[in-house]
């Protein structure tokens, strides 16, 4: 299996909220895209496990993902353990991404930080030939190391290394956010526990979805487009085509 762009998430909806536009832009460009969720988000304040699963399925369709898997690590308890590291290495070797997206290293939610660190370590160790792993069918896996690791922005601000224009897919990108209706204010999915609905979270506050639009518009403005998504890279980024760096239409 070859997935060109694999995004790692601590919780289902993390990628949709943070960088769904980049996923869609690459899908449109003919790349194969996937999301690897570490947990099922079972400790979410709002929404049941069933509604969350349905929402993830809907978002997967909107993003036209070629691959989505869940490692079923315990929510709010993602550990930097050998067992978890191995699970991520197996997935990287299975999907063989060229570019890996991961949460930022410094984040409000400790699960995001843990997922970022697991992603970083697994991306490196997956390339070591002497670390032996087997796929689900028990066959030995070939080593593979993604060529580029980019960290997407969630709760905490990180200075961006590169900003990706997502203007052509912006409305579709927002549909992937809307798919997670149970998490937002004023939305109720059938079967939801009413008492659960009263629990407010960062996401359920009025203005959270507005914030996603505003952030995209802000980063778009910084590169001279309508909407964009920022990423941070620990290494400098190169290009063979300096003209691909021109996103402004007016200087």
Residues contributing to the site for Zn ion (CB under 5 A):
10-11, 14
Least distance in angstroms from the C-beta of 6 to Zn ion: 17
Compute the least distance from the CB of residue 13 to Zn ion, in Å: 7
Calculate the CA dihedral of residues 30, 145, 67, 169 and round it to 10 degrees. Answer: -40
Q: How far is the CB of 116 from Zn ion (least distance, A)?
A: 11
11 vs 120, which CB is nearer to Zn ion? 11
Nearer to Zn ion, 70 or 247 (CB): 70
Question: What does the alpha-carbon distance between residue 199 and residue 222 come to, in Å, rounded to a whole number?
Answer: 36
Q: How far is the CB of 68 from Zn ion (least distance, A)?
A: 16
Of 14 and 66, nearer to Zn ion (C-beta) is: 14
Q: Which structure tokens are listed for 251?
A: 């200087």
What count of other Cβ atoms lies within 10 Å of the Cβ of residue 151? 28
Taking the CA of residue 196 as centre, how many other CA atoms within 13 Å lie in the half-sphere pointing to its CB? 18
Query: Residue 176 CB, nearest distance to Zn ion (Å)?
Result: 15
CA–CA separation, 135 vs 190, rounded Å? 38
The nearer residue to Zn ion, 11 or 173, going by C-beta atoms, is 11
By C-beta, is 4 or 111 nearer to Zn ion? 111
Closest residue to Zn ion: CB criterion: 11
**Measured from the CB of residue 9, what is the shortest distance to Zn ion in angstroms?**
7
Q: How far is the CB of 156 from Zn ion (least distance, A)?
A: 12
Which of 14, 229 has the CB closer to Zn ion? 14
List, as own/partner pairs, every contact residues 144-148 make where C-beta atoms lie below 8 angstroms and the sequence separation is at least 24, other chains included.
144/92, 144/93, 144/96, 145/92, 146/6, 146/92, 146/97, 146/98, 146/99, 146/100, 147/98, 147/99, 148/98, 148/99, 148/100, 148/233, 148/237
Closer residue to Zn ion (CB): 183 or 225:
183
Give the span between the Cα atoms of 34 and 36, in whole angstroms: 7
């Amino acid at each position: 299996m070859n997935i060109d762009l694999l995004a790692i998430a601590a919780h289902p909806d993390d990628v949709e909220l943070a960088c769904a536009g980049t996923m869609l832009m690459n899908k449109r460009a003919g790349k194969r895209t996937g999301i690897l969720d570490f947990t099922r988000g079972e400790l979410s304040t709002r929404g049941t496990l069933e509604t969350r699963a349905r929402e993830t399925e809907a978002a997967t369709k909107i993003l036209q993902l070629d691959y989505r898997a869940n490692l079923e690590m315990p929510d709010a308890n993602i550990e930097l353990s050998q067992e978890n590291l191995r699970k991520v290495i197996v997935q990287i070797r299975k999907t063989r991404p060229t570019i890996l997206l991961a949460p930022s290293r410094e984040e409000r939610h400790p699960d995001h930080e843990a997922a970022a660190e697991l992603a970083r370590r697994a991306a490196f160790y997956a390339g070591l030939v002497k670390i032996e792993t087997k796929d689900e069918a028990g066959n030995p896996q070939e080593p593979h190391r993604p060529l580029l690791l980019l960290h997407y922005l969630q709760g905490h601000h990180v200075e961006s290394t590169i900003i990706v224009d997502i203007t052509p897919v912006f409305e579709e990108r927002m549909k992937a956010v809307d798919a997670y209706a149970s998490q937002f204010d004023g939305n109720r999915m059938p079967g939801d526990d009413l008492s659960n609905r009263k629990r407010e979270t960062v996401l359920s506050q009025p203005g959270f979805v507005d914030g996603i639009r505003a952030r995209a518009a802000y980063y778009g403005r910084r590169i001279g487009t309508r909407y964009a998504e920022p990423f941070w890279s620990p290494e400098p980024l190169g290009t063979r085509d300096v003209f691909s760096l021109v996103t402004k239409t007016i200087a």
